[in-house]
Structure 1
Amino acid sequence: MSIGPVIDPWLLERLVCPATRTPLRLDEAARELVSDEAGLAYPIRDGVPVLLIEAARHL
């Protein structure tokens, strides 16, 4: 059960993929920000997006 949003919607609208500079989409179930263009998923830890290419999971 989720207590609140994984990430603030205001922040999500402003974040971009560091590899492609394209918008990210939220995968709330996986707690990740996904770059469909780069094929990468960035983790969200304690509500903080980790936008390091090295920390991303390849899709």
Structure 2
Amino acid sequence: MTLEQGKTGGHAIDPWLLSILVCPVTRTPLTHDAAADELISDAAGLAFPIRDGVPVLLIEAARPL
């Protein structure tokens, strides 16, 4: 399993999965914000949600930073 429920309600992402996920806008690596349960693209200035343990890498679903 690549995503596990964390103690704070967020999800812990497997480091291998995080290493292959990229921003759909800039194709740069993402960082995980466990507190907000989001994947962050600093290059694009966007935060992508993780919903029910699934990273949603749709531009329409992202929020600006």
TM-score by length of 2: 0.81
Tell whether 2:10 aligns with 1:2: no
* Percent of paired sites with the same residue: 73
The equivalent position to 1:26 in structure 2, one of 11, 14, 32, is 32
Following superposition, which runs of at least 4 residues in structure 1 exceed 4 angstroms of deviation? none
More strand by share: 2
Aligned residues: 59
Q: Any stretches of 5+ residues in structure 2 without a counterpart?
A: 1-5
| Counterpart code for 1:2 | K
The alignment's C-alpha RMSD in Å is 2.0
- List gaps (5 residues or longer) in structure 1: none
